[in-house]
Amino acid sequence: MTEHHHDERATCRELLKSLSDFIDGNLDESLCVEIEKHMAECDRCQVVVDTLRKTVELYQNIYPAPPVPDEVRQRLFVRLNLDDFLSRRQPEH
């Protein structure tokens, strides 16, 4: 392993810590620039960032969100003595 290669991997590791903030847009401008500069030279990190962003996006957009089953809502309202409000429609999420 060349010294150069070793240094590069150290940068990759260092940047890993900031990736969550980076994809959320919560990072200082200077650090963003640093990450973007590194990604331009490092395919590995580019792929990690792209797939990390895609991962979060998939969960935010297509992850199934099970609704509360009707009978679960019914039992909940009975338990809370709210049965007289059961007929009101459940809001959509």
- Tokens of residue 68, six digits: 């509360």
Asked if residue 5 binds other proteins (CB under 8 A), the reply is no
Quote the radius of gyration of the chain (alpha carbons, Å). Answer: 23
60: amino acid identity, one letter: Q
**Binding partner of residue 42 among Zn ion, other proteins, none, CB under 5 to 8 Å per kind?**
Zn ion
HSE toward the beta carbon, residue 38, CA cutoff 13 A: 23
Query: Residue 12 burial (CB < 10 Å; 0-12/13-18/19+)?
Result: middle
6 binds, among other proteins, Zn ion, none (CB under 5 to 8 A by kind): none
Q: Which residues between 32 and 71 bind Zn ion (CB under 5 A)?
A: 42, 45
Binding site for other proteins (CB under 8 A): 12-13, 16-17, 19-21, 26, 44, 47-48, 50-52, 54-56, 58-60, 62-69, 72-73, 75-77, 79-82, 84-85, 88, 90-91, 93
